Amino acid sequence: MTKPAGPRMIAALVSGLVFGLGLSLSGMLDPGRVRGFLDITGAWDPSLAFVLGGAVAVAALGTLLARRMAAPLLDDRFHLPEGRLIDRRLVVGSAIFGIGWGIGGLCPGPALASLSLGLPATVWFVVAMLAGMIVHDRFVVPRT
Amino acid sequence: MSVYLISLAGGMLIGLSAAILMLANGRVAGISGIAGRLLQGRQPGVGAAFVAGLMLGPIAYRLIAGAWPAVTIQASTPLLIIAGLLVGFGSRMGSGCTSGHGVVGLARLSPRSLAAVATFITAAVLTVFLMGAIS
């Protein structure tokens, strides 16, 4: 990379801030509501489907713009996954993730963002989540 | 404003965040990927900046809305620890979570992400159903 990292750090900070603000506004930060969204046979709360819909629609506009660019604004090339193979790792990993998401109602973004609220329960979840990541990356699949 | 419109607006901000990261840095706004790379010491500056911004999000919300976002946690601490382990392990094994596969992957019409999202939503719905049936 020939372009300096400083501007990319600022862009990442802004992107993270907008992400965290969006999570806070949307209701995704609330594990109770997330589990209500997943509880389709009970008192189903469909509102979080609008979060995904709105997010995918705007991200798709970004994708369309990115396709017209030879390189991103602050780097020499795009770093986007191009694999299309649906393998066992993808499906088993996603199923394990989904079970954990269902139990706690927390996924990685909301878990990290809600650390700012200083709730011990969230801290426990995040410590366990990071441990799960380290176990996978160190012992199951060595760094690629 | 209806809860649906608020959720839609929040979702659009999340999509905007993903668009910013893709157009500026050429990267997927996938939280499990960013956290995983950070733990491996890869691109620590950019990853730490994103996570710092992510944690500033609820504080910005507090300043704008005048109250912290609502958080209701139903699971006990031991269950949350199990959930965290599964979320961390599974999202790395499946190369993504709700953000990387759910938002950016679907926006890019990635067949891998479509399969991942269908799998994790099904698994999560079944888990909530079974936990309700047991208790």
Question: Is the CB of B11 less than 8 angstroms away from the CB of A53?
Answer: yes
CA distance B94 to B116: 7
Mean pLDDT by 10 residues, chain A (144 residues): 87 98 97 96 93 98 97 96 94 98 98 97 98 94 60
- What residues does each domain of chain B span? 3-134
DSSP A33-99: HHHHHH-TTSS--THHHHHHHHHHHHHHHHHHHHHT-SS-TTSSS-B--------HHHHHHHHHHHH
Mean pLDDT by 10 residues, chain B (135 residues): 92 98 97 96 94 98 96 95 98 97 97 98 98 90
Angle at CA of residue A141, ends B104 and A96, nearest 5°: 55
Report pLDDT for A141.
Answer: 78
Question: Is the CB of B92 less than 8 angstroms away from the CB of A132?
Answer: yes
Mark out the alpha helices in B26-135 (DSSP H runs): 31-39, 44-65, 77-93, 106-107, 111-134
Find the domain containing A40 and state its range: 6-140
Instruction: Read off the pTM.
Output: 0.96
Report pLDDT for B43.
Answer: 86
Would you say residue A19 lies in a domain? yes
Beta bridge partners of B69: none
Model pLDDT for residues A45-62, shown as the tens digit of each residue = 999 999 999 999 999 999
Report pLDDT for B41.
Answer: 93
SS3 of B47-74: the string is: HHHHHHHHHHHHHHHHHHHCCCCCCCCC
Report pLDDT for A140.
Answer: 87
CA atoms within 13 A on the CB side of B5: 2
- Tell me, yes or no, if A44 comes closer than 8 A to chain B by beta carbon: no
Beta bridge partners of B27: A79
Using CB atoms, pick whichever of B13, B71, B93 lies closest to residue A117: B71
Beta bridge partners of A107: none
3-state class of B27 per DSSP?
strand
- Tell me, yes or no, if A21 comes closer than 8 A to chain B by beta carbon: yes
CA distance A30 to A35: 9
Report pLDDT for B1.
Answer: 66
CA atoms within 13 A on the CB side of B12: 6
Report pLDDT for B84.
Answer: 98
With beta carbons less than 8 A apart as the criterion, state whether A19 and B14 touch. yes
Q: Which two tokens stand for residue B6?
A: 């608020």
- The domain tally of chain A equals 1
Top residue of B62, B89, B101, B106 to mutate, by most chain A CBs within 10 Å, is B89
Q: Which two tokens stand for residue B125?
A: 């719905």
Question: Is the CB of B107 less than 8 angstroms away from the CB of A99?
Answer: no
Question: Is the CB of B95 less than 8 angstroms away from the CB of A90?
Answer: yes
Would you say residue A1 lies in a domain? no
CA distance B110 to B112: 5
With beta carbons less than 8 A apart as the criterion, state whether B70 and A30 touch. yes
Would you say residue A124 lies in a domain? yes
